[in-house]
Structure 1
Amino acid sequence: MPTIATSDVHTALNRAAEQLLGAAGPDGIVSRKDIRTKLLSLEGTERALVDTLYRFIDRRDSARSARVTKADIGAALKFIQTDLVDRFDLDNNGLSEDEIARMSELGKLAVTLARSLKAATAPTGEALAKKLGELSKGLFFDGYYGSEGGVPIQPFHAAAKLSQLTPDVLRSTLKLTNRPEHEVARFESADPCLQALINAHYDMPEHEQAEELVRFMKAHLRELHAAILGRDNPELGAEHPLYIVGTDSAGNLVGLKTGVIWT
């Protein structure tokens, strides 16, 4: 499974907290009777998360007499997001399967709901690539990796079920051969490359468009990497494919395809 941003997990927890607040009586307090009634209107993971969240808050203070207030919910939510979610994202690059496995039951339920909510609303695969095509129309890649000329940008996607992105995974997904032109000559985090894309359009009308494209990619793709194919060899030609890709919420490989020119 792809990693999931802690912000998405926060959204799921906020949704569960809103369900608790919506269950409150006229006095603004959520009793155990109130929560039992609310749970009847919920289903699946959302029901389990709301139930677990209420029980977590209820257990924090045994002297509360089975009454949960808005302040109780807010305080618990802040603690959960910081200590039961964010603390497990060790590399600040989204929660991986290994990191999620170490989380509490409450944290795992929040992750499951977050994935469901994201999958229901986020574009994936071809639809996501189409949006990238709209955002990248008219843009070019230049001025990085020693490239000696601007190369147009095209959207790219390949159907897959990826849980991580490595050079070997990229080779397999792109069905690369052992020929020199298919050698993964460079594979690294896409952050510097994406910043270079923005910088290439500095003082141009497309500058804000480039910034919007990069923001969109970072919001919808995980494990963003830049990969250049082909050795620096005159016999292979001057232009080498450059993939700026990551995984979407469904595990597809999606991003941009452009190139670098080495003469």
Structure 2
Amino acid sequence: MGLIEILINAALQVWYIFPVILLTYITTTPWFKGLWGEFQVNMLLKRLPQNEYHRLKNITLPTDNGTTQIDHIVVSQFGVFIVETKNMKGWIFGSANQKQWTQKIYHYSSKFQNPIHQNYKHLKTLEALLNINIDALFSVVVFIGKSEFKTQMPDNVTHASGCLSYIRSHSVELLDQQQVLDIINNIESGRLARGFATNQAHKVHVKEIIKQKTDQKLCTKCGSYMVLREAKKGQNAGSTFWGCSSFPKCRAVEKFN
């Protein structure tokens, strides 16, 4: 029996391992985590009475300099709720005015954009599209996953089903039924066509924005974006360095000059 036949027979004996490895890899990718987080939030929003609240999801809208993508929009007579989803784990630190928040998992810390600021662009885009009073627009940030807030968060930043309580806490009618229907029609007619091409174009736009914010600092090993981090221990404790945003998959670091 040749070497190739031996390898084929060996592979056939453990064929079931390969789908498990592939599935494990897929479930750890940012794409899957984002998709899974949005699915969970969508299931939560389904608990709202359908005769009062109208749900729209994965809406890509054109802007002056590209596109913006909104995870979920809930339209009701009590206002329009723009929902931003974050599927994260670990401890979350942040405040309404900070540009960046911190995620900490054991001794590992990373920065991410303040989701309130991120959602503000969505809110302003909808304000321009719908031409309604901004007082009828509400930003909601929902964290899904095994995360825990370690600082006091604003009321509109919630964990899991807390978003339902926040939405239902708005009980004053700000829009009439015709306005609700008009808003839904305007969003549907103003959104870009769903599909792979729209999503890819938006991803390219987002990467370009990140590249500008990070001065085009890319990881020399994997090509991901580098982010500024602070050493927590050792002789370099307190010093700043560049770390790969794909950590722990990629552990590349560079000195910060």
Give the TM bin, normalised by the shorter chain: under 0.3
Larger radius of gyration: 1
TM-score by length of 2: 0.23
Flag the structure with higher helix content.
Answer: 1
TM-score by length of 1: 0.23
**Greater relative contact order (Cα 8 A, min sep 6): structure 1 or 2?**
1
